[in-house]
Amino acid sequence: MLTLFHNPMSAGSRAVRLMLSELSIDVTLVTEHVWERREEFLTLNPAGTLPVLQVDNVAITGAWVICEYLDETHGALQRQRRLFPEDPIGRAEMRRIIDWCLTKLESEVTRYAVHERVTKRIMPSSAGGGAPDSQALRAVRANIGYHLKYLGWLAATRNWLAGDSITQADMTAAAALSVLDYLGEIDWSTDEHLKDWYVRVKSRPSFRPLLADRIRGMPPVSHYVDLDF
């Protein structure tokens, strides 16, 4: 049995959960609050970051590393359901988009939106909790348009973000956008191509557990669970 240490509002964690579900891999989910610095968790991952997949007594850390591991151990055996392209160029393009979502989008938008609006609400003041920083949120809202425009361009010019077939790039991008959508930070009316693509991914069975996620005291926006909004 696999165990995934995750956080419901972590884009990387959500990306891994989607891949696990798409490949029909059973996993036990453990919600981890990294600011607590639990000794047991730091033993698994001294960096104290999420997600972490525990396979027997081995800890595999980081969304990208976990996805590579899952493809090598499970995806390659499921040709029709594999989320990694067979050809090297296709895999390179998929990895580029994943890197965009887990590095650039994360560092410019998602990380700060979650920290200011969610994490600081539930962290004790001694750990840095408190009221959101309005300046940080203004930066989030100034940056998000550029990312939505780029992802919308990909959705408009391709069948799926990385090419003709659905890949882990779509899962990762949808995971990141689902976090921002939960918080109501996305205006879907600005790009019908991006919205239509998101509806296609959001309607997959693997997405249902994500749509069931809830943050105590902070329900999602009304359209979050709607499959056709």
Please count the other Cβ atoms lying within 10 Å of the Cβ belonging to residue 138. 10
Give the pLDDT score at 126.
Answer: 87
> Is the CATH number of domain 88-204 3.40.190.100?
no
Structure tokens at 30: 């453990």
Closest CA to 131 of 141, 123, 121: 121
CA distance 131 to 145: 25
- What is the residue whose two structure tokens read 């979502």? 101
Topology of the domain covering 2-77: Glutaredoxin (3.40.30)
CA distance 134 to 131: 9
Q: Could you give the maximum distance between any two Cα atoms of the chain, in Å? A: 50
Q: CA dist 225 to 21, 48, 110, 117, 220, Å?
A: 18, 31, 20, 20, 8
CA distance 197 to 154: 10
Q: pLDDT digit of tens for each residue in the chain (229 aa)? A: 899 999 999 999 999 999 999 999 999 999 999 999 999 999 999 999 999 999 999 999 999 999 999 999 999 988 889 999 999 999 999 999 999 999 999 999 999 999 999 999 999 888 889 999 999 999 999 999 999 999 999 999 999 999 999 999 999 999 999 999 999 999 999 999 999 999 999 999 999 999 999 999 999 999 999 988 7
CA distance 194 to 150: 9
Helix (H) or strand (E) holding 20: helix 11-22
Give the pLDDT score at 1.
Answer: 81
Query: Where are the domain boundaries for CATH 1.20.1050.10 in the chain?
Result: 88-204
Please count the other Cβ atoms lying within 10 Å of the Cβ belonging to residue 205. 8
